[in-house]
Structure formats: structure tokens, C-alpha cells
């Protein structure tokens, strides 16, 4: 399996040693004080290191080893196997990039990466849980999605937010060929209040670095209280809508993948239990790290978003 390659090649002598990452908070504080955070966004994105301030979300759990988090992924645009994204995403080109925000917005706009990098980036360490039963703890770097939505001024009629992944079959082998596991483009959605919740971020990096291709470069959604398929990758469009968007997995298998997809140990997938999860890393993938699944993945502060809802019917 090929190792992660930075978006822009730089000399090995200039790459921060992996061991230095353990002291990342002190390094980032010192860097910000010395003007590191004022570097050109385009230069910052092209380098391995991605300046960010420490965030306020940290479950105080051991982070998943970076090698596991960047080699065990779901990203069907590169293949249906967990190893496919890392093995087959080398030809994907995340630069240049634009993200269009439109629909029911007073000021629709298109943002390039320099503009996205100009938002205040912070590191947030989140638990992440996939519907297949495996979980990770990942240090993401990003900014609240609400900050981007504020820029475009959602209209009063906007109730939902739809997201769309890029379609590039010449660079994404999972999008070409006679057999297509999903309809493209990949589409996801949130209610507007979910999208505006402080826990919801657009991520530009992980482990102190820019996002690898296999993890959704250059910009992806992170919603830590929902199952992983909600975390749409390589986003090119965000659309504010009045109606609930038809999302890819809900369209393809509505009996298995609901629109809300909140982590819930009391609602099983039709083919397996969701009562426990297996934490990737630290001893193996298969059964050695089983633990109880937490309601809302442990993020109880989002419970108020669903007051009065039947979470078994609205799975």
C-alpha cells in the first residue's frame, strides 16, 4: 500500500518528524505567536504541516494510529474495499479546488482553498463511528460549518443543507466501469440546525497535516455524532434547500441507511447489531477492542436537536 504523499512534494529534510506530533499543541501555540498562523493560506495548504489552534473538543482518549486512520477507509469513489482508497487515490488532484455554496442563500458564493484556509482553523479530537461497527479517534483540523453558512446568509425558507462530492472518473476508479456500486455524485444532507451545531465542521486536515486523498482531500464534512457515511468527502457543492435532500445511501438502501444516521446502540442495522463497536488500532481490527456504543457517539450535547422525535423511526 503506498504511503501518504503530501499534496505538494517537499524535501524530506523539511518534514516534521512524526514524534514531534505528540507535542503538537505546544508547537502550534509557539508557531501562532511567532507568526506561523499568518502564513499564506495557499502555502500552508501545500505543506505537510497545517497550522491550527487547539480546539475545545477532546474525548481524552488515545488517538487512532495515523497509519490505521489513513489506510482503513470507506470512499467508494476509489473502490469498495477498505484498502482501496489509500491504494487507488494517488492520481486524484485536490488542487486547484473550489467549493460552491448556493440554493436558498442571500449571498451565494464560490470559495477557493485560500478562502477556506482563511477561516480560523482549530484541532478537534473526535470519536468517529461507522455503521459497520468500527470506530476511531481522530484529530481533525477544520472550522465550524456555521462560519461558512453565515457568509452566504441562509434565507428564512432554508431548512436543510445538501452536500455533493466531486465526479472525476478519470481520477476516481470507483466511478468508472460497467458496475457502479452507487449513483454519482455522492450526496449527503443535514438539517440546517444540525449543520449549524458547533460540533459540525468542515475539515481540511488531520494529524496536524492536510487531508490525504483517501480521507477526503481537500475538504470534507465531519459530524461526530452520526455514522461515518454522513461525513461526505471531497466536497464541491453545498446547497441550502427547503426540502429534505435525497441522500445517496438512503436512496440506495432506505431500509438500512436513514437520513439522520445518529449513532444509536438501540437501533440495529438490519444485518448486525449496533450495541458494540470495535476501536481500530492498538491490537487489531477484529474483536480485540470491543466496547459499548455510546448514544450520539457520546456527544450528549446534541440530544436537544431531536427532542420529541422517535429516533427508531427517524434512524
Per-residue pLDDT tens for 215-259?
999 999 999 999 999 999 999 999 999 999 999 999 999 999 999
What single-letter DSSP state applies at residue 18? G
Alpha-carbon distance values, 137 to 125, 162, 242, 265, 280 (Å):
7, 26, 34, 18, 9
Q: Is residue 242 part of a domain?
A: yes
pLDDT value for 281: 83
Question: Reduced to 3 states, what is the DSSP secondary structure of residue 93?
Answer: coil
Given pLDDT bands bounded at 50, 70 and 90, which one contains residue 49? confident
Q: Is residue 308 part of a domain?
A: no
Q: What pTM did the predictor assign?
A: 0.85
Q: Is residue 299 part of a domain?
A: no
Q: Is residue 200 part of a domain?
A: yes
Residue 209 is part of a domain; what is its CATH number? 3.90.420.10
Q: Structural domain of residue 103, as residue ranges?
A: 12-252
Cell readout for 36 is 506561523
Number of domains in the chain: 1
* 12-32 mean pLDDT: 38
In angstroms, the first-to-last Cα distance of the chain is 36
Q: Is residue 278 part of a domain?
A: no
* 60-86 mean pLDDT: 96
Q: Is residue 156 part of a domain?
A: yes
Q: Is residue 307 part of a domain?
A: no
Proportion of the chain above pLDDT 70, given as a percent: 83
Q: Are 257 and 249 in contact (CB under 8 A)?
A: yes
Q: Are 206 and 219 in contact (CB under 8 A)?
A: no
Q: Is residue 121 part of a domain?
A: yes
Q: Are 121 and 142 in contact (CB under 8 A)?
A: yes
Cα-Cα-Cα-Cα torsion 89, 90, 91, 93, nearest 10 degrees, comes to 80
> Which residues sit opposite 165 in a β-bridge?
235
Amino acid at each position: 500500500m503506498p504511503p501518504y504523499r503530501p499534496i505538494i512534494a517537499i524535501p524530506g529534510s523539511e518534514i516534521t518528524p512524526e514524534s514531534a506530533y505528540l507535542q503538537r499543541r505546544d508547537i502550534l501555540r509557539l508557531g501562532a505567536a511567532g507568526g506561523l498562523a499568518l502564513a499564506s493560506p495557499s502555502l500552508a495548504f501545500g505543506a505537510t504541516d497545517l497550522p491550527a489552534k487547539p480546539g475545545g473538543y477532546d474525548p481524552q482518549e488515545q488517538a487512532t494510529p495515523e497509519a490505521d486512520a489513513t489506510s482503513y477507509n470507506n470512499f467508494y469513489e476509489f473502490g469498495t474495499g477498505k484498502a482501496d482508497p489509500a491504494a487507488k487515490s494517488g492520481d486524484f488532484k485536490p488542487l486547484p479546488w473550489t467549493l460552491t455554496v448556493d440554493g436558498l442563500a442571500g449571498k451565494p458564493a464560490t470559495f477557493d482553498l485560500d478562502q477556506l484556509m482563511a477561516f480560523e482553523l482549530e484541532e478537534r479530537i473526535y470519536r468517529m463511528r461507522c455503521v459497520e461497527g468500527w470506530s476511531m479517534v481522530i484529530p481533525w483540523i477544520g472550522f465550524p460549518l456555521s462560519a461558512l453558512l453565515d457568509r452566504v446568509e441562509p434565507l428564512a425558507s432554508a431548512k436543510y443543507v445538501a452536500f455533493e462530492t466531486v465526479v472525476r472518473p478519470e481520477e476516481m476508479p470507483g466511478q468508472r466501469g460497467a458496475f457502479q456500486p452507487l449513483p454519482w455524485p455522492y450526496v449527503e444532507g443535514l438539517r440546517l440546525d444540525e449543520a449549524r451545531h458547533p460540533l459540525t465542521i468542515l475539515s481540511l486536515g488531520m494529524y496536524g497535516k492536510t487531508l490525504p486523498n483517501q480521507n477526503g482531500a481537500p475538504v470534507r464534512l465531519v459530524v461526530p455524532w452520526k455514522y461515518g457515511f454522513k461525513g461526505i468527502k471531497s466536497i464541491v457543492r453545498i446547497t441550502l434547500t427547503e426540502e429534505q435532500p435525497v441522500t445517496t445511501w438512503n436512496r440506495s438502501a432506505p431500509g438500512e441507511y436513514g437520513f439522520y444516521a445518529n449513532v444509536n446502540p438501540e437501533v440495529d442495522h438490519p444485518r448486525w447489531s449496533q450495541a458494540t463497536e470495535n476501536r481500530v488500532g492498538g491490537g487489531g481490527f477484529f474483536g480485540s477492542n470491543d466496547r459499548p456504543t455510546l448514544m450520539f457517539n457520546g456527544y450528549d450535547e446534541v440530544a436537544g436537536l431531536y427532542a420529541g422525535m422517535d429516533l427508531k423511526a427517524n434512524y
